[in-house]
Amino acid sequence: MNVFGGLAIQQIANQLLDTDPVAGPLIKSKELRLNVQSLNNATNNKGNKVKPDFQLLLGGGNTAVLDITTKGSKDKIWKYEPKPPNGNPASVPFLINILYR
């Protein structure tokens, strides 16, 4: 799957979530964040901050990260786990893949 296919799926998901009666208010209150910079200082191997597809604030400074991906790319979820010294891995207790295809 090319990056454009994944982007299209994410855009469709974002539109569906935005109009959902439960998710929509969470987006408006910024408790559910769509494709924005990591809230917990997670970085990739090059040290750049990453943008998870979805971040759900859980309270107490904790966040659940959800990523739309393929089975072959499922291991990339680990890049969203914050690493010391800039981030606390415990602040992201849930890393969730949403698989397609």
1 pLDDT more than 50:
no
Q: What are phi and psi of 74, to 5 degrees?
A: -60, -25
Distances from the Cα of 4 to the Cα of 7, 9, 11, 18, 59, angstroms: 5, 9, 10, 21, 33
Q: State the total domains in the chain.
A: 1
What residues make up the domain containing 68?
Answer: 3-99
pTM, 2 dp:
0.86
**Is pLDDT above 70 for 10?**
yes
Q: What is the DSSP letter of 9?
A: H
> Is 88 a residue whose pLDDT tops 60?
yes
Give the pLDDT of residue 2.
53
Cα–Cα distance measured from residue 92 to residue 101, given in angstroms and rounded to the nearest whole number: 26
Helix (H) or strand (E) holding 99: strand 94-99
